[in-house]
Structure 1
Amino acid sequence: MSSVWEIGNLSVSQSNKIKDYLELPTVEEKLPAFLINGSEEGPKVLVLGGIHGCEYTSIDAAQKVGTDLIPSKVKGKVIVLPIANPASFYARSIYVHPRDQKNVNRMFPGKEDGTDAERLAYWLNEMVFKKVDYIIDLHGGDMIEALVPFTIYHVTEDERVIETSKQMASLFDIDYVIGSSGQVPGSTYGCAAEQGTPAIIAEAGQQGILSEEHSVQLQDGVKNILVSLELLEGEVKQSQSTYISVFDWYRSDFQGLWYPSVVIGQSVTKGQVLGKLTNEFGETVKEIISNTEGVVLFLVSSLAINDNDPLLAVGA
Structure 2
Amino acid sequence: MKKEISICNITAKPDQKAQGFINILDTETKMPITIINGKKEGKTVLITAGVHGCEYPGIRTAIELAKEINPQDISGNIIIVHVVNTAGFEKRRAAIMPEDNKNILRVFPGDGNGTISDKIAHVITNELISKVDYYFDIHGGDLHEELIPHLYYPAKADEEVVNKCIEIAKHFNVAYYAPSNNINGTFTSAAINKNIPSLLIERGGCGLCKEEEVNLYKDDILNILSVLNVIKYERCSKEFSPKEIKKAIYLDARVDGCWTCFVKPGQAIKKGEKLGEISDYFGNIIDTYYAEFDSTVLYNTVAYYVSKGNSLVAYGRS
Q: TM-score, normalised by structure 1?
A: 0.95
For the pair 1:197 / 2:196, whether they are aligned, the reply is yes
Query: Residue 63 of structure 1 aligns to a residue in which SS?
Result: helix
Which residue of structure 1 aligns with residue 262 of structure 2? 261
The CA distance in 2 between the partners of 1:289 and 1:258, in whole Å, is 14
Letter in 2 for 1:314: Y
Letter in 1 for 2:198: A
The CA distance in 2 between the partners of 1:17 and 1:107, in whole Å, is 30
Is the CA contact (8 Å cut-off) linking 2:46 and 2:135 kept in structure 1? yes
Is the CA contact (8 Å cut-off) linking 2:156 and 2:183 kept in structure 1? no
Deviation per residue, 1:255-274 (Å, 9 max, x gap): 21111111221111222221
Which residue of structure 2 aligns with residue 301 of structure 1? 302
Segments of 5+ residues of structure 1 without an aligned counterpart are none
Aligned positions of 1:1-316 closer than 5 A: 1=1, 3-180=3-180, 182=181, 184-195=182-193, 196-234=195-233, 240-316=241-317
* Alignment: residue pair count: 314
Residues 235 and 60 of structure 1, relative CA distance in 2, 3 Å threshold: closer
Q: TM-score, normalised by structure 2?
A: 0.94
Is the CA contact (8 Å cut-off) linking 1:252 and 1:305 kept in structure 2? yes
Query: Residue 271 of structure 2 aligns to a residue in which SS?
Result: coil
Is the CA contact (8 Å cut-off) linking 2:255 and 2:287 kept in structure 1? no
Letter in 2 for 1:233: K
- Compare 17-26 and 83-92 and name the one that shifted more: 17-26
**How far has the Cα of 1:315 moved from its partner?**
2.1
Residues 178 and 72 of structure 1, relative CA distance in 2, 3 Å threshold: same
Deviation per residue, 1:248-296 (Å, 9 max, x gap): 2111132211111112211112222211111222111111122232111
**How far has the Cα of 1:300 moved from its partner?**
0.5
The CA distance in 1 between the partners of 2:205 and 2:118, in whole Å, is 26
Is the CA contact (8 Å cut-off) linking 1:166 and 1:179 kept in structure 2? no
Is the CA contact (8 Å cut-off) linking 1:172 and 1:220 kept in structure 2? no
Is the CA contact (8 Å cut-off) linking 2:22 and 2:30 kept in structure 1? yes
Segments of 5+ residues of structure 2 without an aligned counterpart are none
